[in-house]
């Protein structure tokens, strides 16, 4: 992914809201040094400089914009993106709710008119043969059909950016069976029908599928289920935040996964990560957002 971004030979300007934690500063400085980003750090300038000094990072790598509190910092980052002074915004140490509030503000926010806000992540796992894209990982607790359609479209669009023309998207359930006990499966049937009618961007869609049928060819053979996804999914679409959240966290904590992700549905890419995320994950997010910002 990083190679792909470097090959674009373009720098994106990133505004970071409340940019004073070492993981964020470390990730940003790496992206700046690699040459695919410029950064505007909004936050307590003293705190930012202290972190830089403690970690041997040159403060000249980025512009520092002083701000007194996290809400102001989030609003300032959004303002910079709206005015065209920044191409991407990123959450630093500010709380997710405050950050999203600034992004979603009807008058001064970054929302595309009528769009659904959703999170698409890309995860690299030693036990899988390619990057796996996941949605929604952060925003919609229980997506309805309209929101699921938007989630799928965002994920497909992201995978296309990686040069995969016909991504395989698995709509995840507890089994491959459609059942009235699982209302989500009715949405999945509808979506597969839409996909057949060409209502999504180029993709191969199937669901409901359980995780094994989505990601493991061997299971597809054993169970004898006929699915075009065939254990080779590029994208997993989850029925709820409750299922996607422990899934990706288990990948990161127990399976050596690395996650990068982005908010979609906004005018410009928005990087939102848990404050506790590692520097490496944050760095990958920056790279991913630069790829998506490329026009």
Partner 1 sequence: MVLKSLSDLKAIVAGGPMRKLVLAAAQDQHSLGAVIRAWKDNVIEPILIGDKEGIQNICATSNYDITGIRIIHEPDMDMAVEMSVKMVNNKQADVLMKGKIGTSTLLKHVLNKEWGLRTGNLLSHFALFEVETYHKVIAVTDVAMNIAPSLKDKISIINNSVSCLIKLGYVMPKVAVLGAVEMVNESMEATLDAALLSKMNQRDQIRNCIIDGPLAFDNAVSLESAQHKGIRSEVAGDTDLLLMPNIEVGNVLYKSLVFFAKAKVAAVILGARVPIVLTSRSDSEQAKYDSILLSAAASK
* Residues in contact with partner 1 by the rule CB under 8 A: 125, 127-128, 141, 172-175, 181-182, 184, 210-212, 215-216, 219, 222-223, 238-247, 249-257, 274-276
Neighbours of 234 (CB within 10 A): 24
Give 80 or 215: the residue with its C-beta nearer to partner 1. 215
Cα–Cα distance measured from residue 36 to residue 155, given in angstroms and rounded to the nearest whole number: 23
Give 171 or 203: the residue with its C-beta nearer to partner 1. 171
Give 228 or 246: the residue with its C-beta nearer to partner 1. 246
| Minimum distance, C-beta of residue 249 to partner 1, in the bound complex (Å) | 4
Burial letters for 162-183: b for 16+ Cβ neighbours within 10 Å, e otherwise?
Answer: bebeebbbbbbbeebeeeeebe
| Minimum distance, C-beta of residue 248 to partner 1, in the bound complex (Å) | 9
Give 231 or 265: the residue with its C-beta nearer to partner 1. 231
| Minimum distance, C-beta of residue 174 to partner 1, in the bound complex (Å) | 4
Give 113 or 254: the residue with its C-beta nearer to partner 1. 254
| Minimum distance, C-beta of residue 83 to partner 1, in the bound complex (Å) | 33
| Minimum distance, C-beta of residue 132 to partner 1, in the bound complex (Å) | 9
Spell out the residues 6+ positions from residue 295 whose beta carbon is closer than 8 angstroms to its own. none
Measured CA to CA in angstroms, residue 44 lies from 65, 92, 172 at distances of 8, 12, 43
> Burial, 6: exposed, middle or buried (Cβ in 10 Å; 0-12, 13-18, 19+)?
middle
- Radius of gyration over every alpha carbon of the chain, rounded to an integer in angstroms: 19
């Amino acid at each position: 992914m990083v190679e792909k971004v470097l090959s674009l030979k373009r720098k994106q300007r990133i505004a970071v809201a409340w940019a004073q934690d070492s993981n964020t500063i470390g990730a940003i400085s790496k992206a700046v040094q690699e040459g695919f980003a410029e950064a505007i750090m909004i936050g307590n300038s003293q705190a930012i400089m202290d972190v830089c000094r403690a970690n041997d990072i040159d403060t000249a790598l980025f512009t520092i914009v002083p701000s007194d509190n996290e809400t102001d910092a989030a609003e300032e980052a959004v303002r910079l993106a709206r005015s065209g002074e920044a191409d991407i915004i990123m959450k630093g140490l500010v709380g997710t709710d405050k950050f999203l509030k600034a992004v979603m503000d009807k008058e001064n926010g970054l929302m595309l008119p009528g769009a659904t806000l959703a999170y698409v992540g890309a995860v690299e796992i030693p036990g899988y043969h390619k990057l796996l894209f996941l949605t929604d990982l952060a925003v919609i607790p229980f997506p309805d059909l309209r929101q699921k359609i938007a989630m799928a479209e965002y994920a497909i669009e992201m995978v296309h950016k990686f040069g995969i023309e016909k991504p395989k998207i698995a709509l995840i359930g507890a089994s491959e069976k459609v059942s009235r006990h699982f209302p989500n499966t009715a949405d999945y049937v509808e979506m597969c029908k839409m996909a057949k009618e060409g209502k999504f961007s180029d993709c191969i869609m199937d669901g409901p599928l359980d995780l094994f049928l989505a990601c493991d060819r061997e299971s597809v053979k054993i169970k004898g289920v006929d699915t075009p996804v065939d254990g080779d999914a590029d994208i997993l679409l989850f029925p709820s935040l409750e299922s996607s959240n422990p899934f990706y966290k288990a990948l990161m904590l127990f399976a050596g996964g690395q996650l990068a992700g982005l908010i979609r549905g906004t005018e410009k890419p928005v990087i939102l990560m848990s404050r506790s995320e590692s520097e490496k994950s944050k760095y990958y997010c920056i790279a991913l957002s630069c790829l998506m910002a490329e026009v």
